[in-house]
Structure 1
Amino acid sequence: MNKIRYHIILAILSLFTLSGCGNWLDVSPENQVTDEKLFDDYSGFRNALNGIYRELSEQKLYGRELSWGLVSVLAQDYDASRLNKAYPEVATYNYDLADTKNMIDQVWIQMYNAIANCNKLIDEIQKKDGSFFPLGEIEKDLIEGEAHALRAFIHFDLLRLFAPSPKVNADGTYLPYFTSYPSKYEPKQKTSDFLQLVIDDLLKAKNMVAHFDSTYAAENGLYSTTWRYSPQSTKLGRFFNSRGIRLNYMAIHGMLARVYMYAGDETNAEREARFVLEHFVASEGGEDALRFATASELTSGKGLNTKYKSEIMFALYDDKLPDLYEEFKTENNTRFALKAWTDFFTEDGDDLRKNLGEYNYETGLYNLLKWQAFTTEVPDVTPNFNLLPVLRLSEMYYIISECRYNATDMTNAQSYLQKVRDAYQADNRVVDMNRYQRELILEMKKEYLTEGQLFFLYKRLNIAIENGGETVNVGNKFTLPIPEKEDIF
């Protein structure tokens, strides 16, 4: 317990004192800031919230390890012979190597640090009246709501990493759920109870951010693909723009769908996924907020729409991402080469997603264009290179499709799966009951390869990983080891 408490206290100190978190906080000359000074002005709350998003975008977390790094290696996305650093051992699920342990330990520490920062922000903002903020109660609710959503999001991924899936053991106790600052002893929760705490936080967050995102939707660009990821000059100010890189109202609904699906609550998972489609997708009767990339966008130029940002509900952001990715590649572009790119398109030669793969004539392998940057003078395209996709529109279709499949409603299961395929001009293919799971996984590979979500898909279903003609039975290695010095409850 002492080790956990130490890291959480350290997290709060780092929130106030570390310049490594970026220039989002103006520290005092002595490099020490008291709680009273930080939160003495409304801007301190804005800076603190931005700081948490920055923390999550660092390489130890979603900037690498929880996107194209650690979890993508675990999902067998890459040719293991082309990996470097500790990743070859990760690809064999050898968690005993010192470098691998350190990588995993840092994920644990940083995520609990971020949770502590969320709890500190929630604790401080609850002491303030709405009149303290320029937009009044709407702004207070927005900031607190996002902090609750972030706390839920981080806890959820901790559970997905460091505890068996509910399908394996929903009643086991593995992790504590922290909701207070300063930190107190929190017992480990049963997985089912832990997931309910995640859901409770998301439901609270949803209601708190709804007022802002409904009242100012047009002005903050929630319904504009361009404005959702590009800071714009509006009367509200930049803090309220770029809602796509913040846990906005529609993203929280999408996150609820993901969490319910992982928990095995398909009724609520389908309901939340349908809510997103019916309210935020024009072709489904909602607003034109989310859409699949058009054919012209996917073929107009090399790498210009590699993230399909018009379908992203929530992404983190790092303007150094392309450079950091390049650091992990050799001169002939061999590191992080894909394991089996062309296999995904054997039966779908017209699928436009194949344009994301770039053939390397020296190695005979493919690399993804997804994480690279390219020269362009189109301002709308540039932010695309810096995005770290977390939640996509396509996942909502996949959730509904899988729920319909499990309800033996194959007509609708096929229909919702085909809607994604149609968006990318893949063939219309009838999928029978015996072939369905294979097709669903194949579709998700095309969408999420190297984004980190595939590992969690295999884990949720508790199935072997198949890629490049190989079958890997991961078994209990789906669960990462909790750092030894932390597991002392």
Structure 2
Amino acid sequence: MKITKPFLLLMALFITGFMACKKPLDTVPDTSLTELKTFDDVRNALRGAYDGFQSNNYYGNPGASGSPSGWSGLPELMGDDFVEALESLGNWNIMSEMIYASDNGQVAGIFIQPYEIISRVNNLLKYIDKYETGANAAEAKRIKAQALAIRAHAHFDLMRYFAPDFGRNSTALGVPYVTIFDPQKPFANLPARNTVKENYDAILKDLGDALVAFRDGGNTTGNSSRNYIDSVVVYAMRARVNYYASQWTAVISDANVALGLRPVGSAANYVAAFSTAGETAPSSEVYWAIPSDNALRPGAAISGASPNYRVTSAMTAVLQAQGGAYTNSGINRFNQAGLGGIQRTLCWKYPGIRSFKVFRAGELLLMRAEAKQRTSDATAIDDLNLLRTNRDVATGSETGAALLDAILLQRRVELLGEGHRWFDLRRTTKTIVRNECGVAGGSRASNCTITSTSRAWTFPIPFNEIKVNPNLVQNQGY
């Protein structure tokens, strides 16, 4: 997909003002953002930042659009637990075949959208300090905490696509880390990419500062919908960041806090998290959910009655072998008639208008189980069996490498359709083998094997970004 001229102009507005240096960047041009003159303006700026997550470039996923859906449907349809169905319109074919290039519009949308959100919170943070004393002090600190967490989360999500590795101290190039909004000099500098280590340092600092602000201002109020970030979400965010960085002790520590405050729920609770349209009070194990409305359909490409991608036969066998909540019709549906006489398995977590669950207790419990196994903590099996029990699945007694394999398999089953699988492959084997290829296999997929040497495991920096800013170094192979 070629990038249009208006798209290039939008990218120029976001990119050309970043500072060309190796420390976190300190200018973000966005002439559509204005001075925040009142505290109500600050409140509205926070709402605007949250709204950015509903974009079809981020968590939105309309079924026929071919929009990136970068952190909802896309990481699933690019992985090995879904395969392109005969019903597919081909909107995501270039992405799932992993044959994209630097001029791909979906890749460009994934690069731009987080920076749009970042620019909104940076504008807010520019004005928030003066409200941290006086009548609105506590609320101002809570707003500051959420803004810092949003900035960290968006940068980390960019890293997950555009950084070539996830080593905690890696000197490989990550993404520009943007911290200051200055509309007065939007074209003053051109950015170089920070290293992965510098990205981690900045992300963890923002998350740590967010926890301090929550401590000083109290936790987020009026959040029964779980549509806003609170301190539990920040601990979950930090656990996920350290999980990617293989900082296992830190994962256990933060997961302990999050799970202590918001533990994993029952099988019924798990099903309820995905079975109610437009829910205002999600099930108790949900930590943060992007709200559902008429625009947000977070899984249409991989979920519902006519998805472009169906669950593979291999994953179908795993789901049916486990049973319990995973075979509930509110989670997955089996033997659904499709084109070519194919009996499809369909993920049913996002069949229509649903809130997108960004963090859940199930993910935290599995991250903790894996971290314990990798640090020879004998209670790793207890965490795995706790999740199994709460999904009405048979428990086990695995040890050693078999236990790690069981935890990783349970992660695939538990989080199926929730935007994790391709990233997990990136972190581990970087290998995809699709056994259902071509019409004979009941699929439109043609690229059946993707090896660890493929350039596509790291996204390209969009071509027009580099055209506007030659200080941005392209990823290898593009």
Q: For the residues of structure 2 that align with 1:252 and 1:13, how far apart are their CA atoms?
A: 30
Aligned-residue offset at 1:168: 10
Q: Are 1:393 and 2:368 matched, yes or no?
A: no
Aligned-residue offset at 1:317: 1.7
SS of equivalent residue, structure 2 residue 406: helix
Mind listing any 5+ residue stretches in structure 2 that lack a counterpart? 1-10, 19-26, 62-68, 437-447, 472-478
Identity level (%):
20
Aligned-residue offset at 1:296: 7.7
The superposition leaves residues 100-152 of structure 1 with CA deviations (integer Å, 9 ceiling, x where unpaired) of: x1011011112112111111111122344533x6xx21111111111111110
Amino acid in the other structure paired with 1:250: V
Which of the numbers 422, 428, 443 marks the counterpart of 1:455? 422
Which of the numbers 53, 62, 73 marks the counterpart of 1:69? 73
Higher helix fraction (1 or 2): 1
Which of the numbers 291, 294, 297 marks the counterpart of 1:320? 294
Residue in 1 aligned with 2:324? 350
Q: For the residues of structure 1 that align with 2:408 and 2:248, how far apart are their CA atoms?
A: 18
Q: For the residues of structure 2 that align with 1:335 and 1:152, how far apart are their CA atoms?
A: 32
Q: Are 1:112 and 2:115 matched, yes or no?
A: yes
Which of the numbers 322, 334, 339 marks the counterpart of 2:312? 339
Amino acid in the other structure paired with 2:125: I
Which of the numbers 432, 438, 453 marks the counterpart of 2:405? 438
Amino acid in the other structure paired with 1:477: A
SS of equivalent residue, structure 2 residue 116: helix
Amino acid in the other structure paired with 1:311: E
Number of residue pairs aligned between Structure 1 and Structure 2: 417
Aligned-residue offset at 1:471: 6.6
Does the 8 Å contact 1:317/1:387 carry over to 2? yes
Aligned-residue offset at 1:210: 3.2
State how 1:236-385 maps to structure 2 within 5 Å.
Answer: 244-281=226-263, 291-295=264-268, 298=271, 303-304=275-276, 309-321=283-295, 333-340=306-313, 341-355=315-329, 356-359=331-334, 360-362=336-338, 363-373=342-352, 385=353
Residue in 2 aligned with 1:200? 205
Which of the numbers 449, 455, 459 marks the counterpart of 1:480? 459
SS of equivalent residue, structure 2 residue 308: coil
Does the 8 Å contact 2:298/2:350 carry over to 1? no
Aligned-residue offset at 1:75: 1.8
SS of equivalent residue, structure 2 residue 170: coil
Amino acid in the other structure paired with 2:58: L
RMSD of aligned residue pairs (Cα, Å): 3.3
Aligned-residue offset at 1:162: 0.5
Which of the numbers 90, 94, 118 marks the counterpart of 2:95? 90
The superposition leaves residues 266-297 of structure 1 with CA deviations (integer Å, 9 ceiling, x where unpaired) of: 1212111111123333xxxxxxxxx4144387
Residue in 1 aligned with 2:4? none
Do the aligned partners of residues 310 and 74 (structure 1) sit closer, same or farther apart at CA in structure 2, a change above 3 Å counting? Answer: same
User: Which deviates more from structure 2 when the two are superposed, residues 307-316 or residues 270-279?
Assistant: 307-316
Q: Are 1:52 and 2:30 matched, yes or no?
A: no
The superposition leaves residues 241-264 of structure 1 with CA deviations (integer Å, 9 ceiling, x where unpaired) of: xxx111211000111111112122
SS of equivalent residue, structure 1 residue 315: strand
Residue in 1 aligned with 2:380? 413
Aligned-residue offset at 1:304: 3.7
Q: For the residues of structure 1 that align with 2:277 and 2:303, how far apart are their CA atoms?
A: 24
- TM-score, normalising length: structure 1: 0.76
SS of equivalent residue, structure 2 residue 82: coil
